[in-house]
Structure 1
Amino acid sequence: MPLPPDPDDPAARPDDLPAPPDAAPAAPAGRATITPYRDGPLLVRGDFRLVDQDGTEIDPGRETVALCRCGRSGIKPFCDGTHKRAGFRAPSAPARPRPAARIRREDGDRA
């Protein structure tokens, strides 16, 4: 039996609703922002192109999409909320920081 939509789950939030105040800001023109949500999907916002492994474009149908991280979605690569029933657990941030030499801030300077 499907679970009712969770308003805090980015995969369940339609594009026409405002993002919650703690949501990542929209990406600058020509760029995408990818936000991993704790215990949930990757939320992709902004100007992006989604292709399969052969380079065939996948039409996301919108400017913001939730991509499955749990591997159990029935509509992969998109999230359908199955992560909640599956008990998927993953942090929002990496378990360990990447070396500073490899991280670039949005202004192009190295962090």
Structure 2
Amino acid sequence: MPNSPSDPPRRISVQRRGPMLVEGPVEVELEDGTTVSSDRFRVALCTCRRSRRYPWCDTSHRARTSAGGPGRPSPDSCAEGPDSS
């Protein structure tokens, strides 16, 4: 039986300026009630909502750069979570 008390807990890795990494397989319920699933051993969930494949991360958060130089993330890239725009 999945999710029984004897199952080990799922590991979720939170990154300050990146996606949320979840040990799979996973099923994600979206705001509108639809569900999407992945059978991969680890999935990256978008936390900045810039992904064209939302809720899956497509690394769109990396495209945002600061005036400090190329490749450096701006202070607002993915750091605030899904409600930031």
Distance 1:71 1:41, change over 3 A: same
- The alignment's C-alpha RMSD in Å is 2.6
Tell me the CA shift for residue 54 of structure 1. 4.5
Match of 1:90 in 2: 79
Q: Is structure 2 residue 48 aligned with structure 1 residue 59?
A: no
Stretches of structure 1 lacking an aligned partner (at least 5 in a row): 1-27, 92-111
Specify the code of the residue in structure 1 equivalent to 2:53: I
- Decide whether aligned partners of structure 1 residues 54 and 74 sit closer, same or farther in structure 2, where only a CA change above 3 A counts: closer
Q: Identity percentage over the alignment?
A: 36
Quote the residue 1:77 is aligned against: 55
TM-score normalised by structure 2 residue count: 0.58
Aligned residues: 64
Going by fraction, where is strand more abundant, 1 or 2?
A: 2
Higher helix share: 1
- Point out where structure 2 has 5 or more consecutive residues left out of the alignment: 1-5, 65-72, 81-85
- TM-score, length of structure 1 as denominator length: 0.46
